[in-house]
Amino acid sequence: MLYPEDAGNLNRVRNNPDHIFFKRFGEQVPKPEWNHPGTKQGIYFMGPDAEYLEAKFASSNAADILARMKRALVRWESLRQEKGYANSPIPQVTTGPPMYLIGDKPMILQVNLRDLPRSSSDRSGARFEDVGRMNEPWFEFSKWAWNQNWIGLDDPKAFVTTSTIAVPVSSAVVRKIAMEVLVDNVRGQAPTWRSEHVKEASLTMRRFAVSGSKSTMEYVGRAHMEAGSQAYVCTIYGQGVWNEATQQFDSFDLVAIGDRRGAWQFNNRENDRGPAPMGVALSIWK
């Protein structure tokens, strides 16, 4: 989000303050450590006004990083005195969705994914488990069987009905959810599904309770995504409380549970290809 790799997304964030700050810093970084064009993952040391102190593109070399930390501290002491910087507390910022979703999408869903327990003798679905991916510190994160995504939707009313009998939710909306966030990035990175990978994506809705301006909806559905050896097949259930007065959902939750299988290049499933249970929970963010 700070510095996308492709021209289209770079253009999208060109006026974002966080991108501008990071870009100013990057313009001072020695070219080999800025890795441009390309991903900007790395270890960066910067001053409060984006001043360059040190930088290293993607590295787990502890000795090298320690040396860079020491150089950065020396440069910081000089910079601090030169500009009269004084220590002050780092402000607390509430975490939330990516900036490009806020203000652009009227309905934002927080997505939590995790492996699910398999059996009493198999702890592979535990929230924290050494799956044997790699023993380097760089891959310590892969032991955590949990991850988070976000998705923005254009029309909350796509999930609203006055029918007490189940009727379909827009196929385009359901397919968007299936393609973008019903993915296996529990322990790493997985690409979104392409349209041809979606074999089934259906969701029905019905209104089963009304109280004043509030209507409670029930959602039931299925999804089946498959791309060769990779797949996720799940059932979906959810509920939402639509507030007619505010034209917003007071609450909205969907849960998808099913078996995933296969491995992507960066999702750390080489030794755990399944089939194995995985859950995805989607909740409205306000």
Question: Above pLDDT 70, what percent of the chain?
Answer: 95
pLDDT, one tens digit per residue, over 174-214 is 999 999 999 999 988 899 999 999 999 999 999 999 999 99
Residues paired with residue 46 on neighbouring β-strands, in sequence order: 52
Task: Look at the alpha carbons of 196, 197, 200, 203 in this order and tell me if their dihedral is positive or negative.
Answer: negative
For residue 228, name the pLDDT band (cuts at 50, 70, 90).
very high
From 131, 132, 174, 135, select the one nearest 151 (Cα to Cα).
Answer: 174
pTM of the model: 0.78
* pLDDT for the residue 60: 79
> CB neighbours of 261 closer than 8 A, spacing ≥ 6?
229, 230, 231, 232, 273, 274, 275, 276
| Prior bond of 98 cis (ω within 30°) | no
Q: Which residues, other chains included, contact 31 with Cβ-Cβ below 8 Å and sequence gap of 6+?
A: none
Question: Which range, of 20-34, 77-91, 226-240, averages the lowest pLDDT?
Answer: 77-91
Query: What pLDDT band is residue 58 in, cutting at 50, 70 and 90?
Result: confident
Q: Is 225 helix (H, G, I), strand (E, B) or coil?
A: strand
Number of CB atoms found within 10 A of residue 235's CB: 12
36-50, 56-70, 247-261: range with highest mean pLDDT: 247-261
Measure Cα distances from 251 to 27, 153, 156, 176, 230 in Å: 44, 15, 12, 20, 33
Task: Tell me if residue 259 falls in helix, strand or coil.
Answer: strand
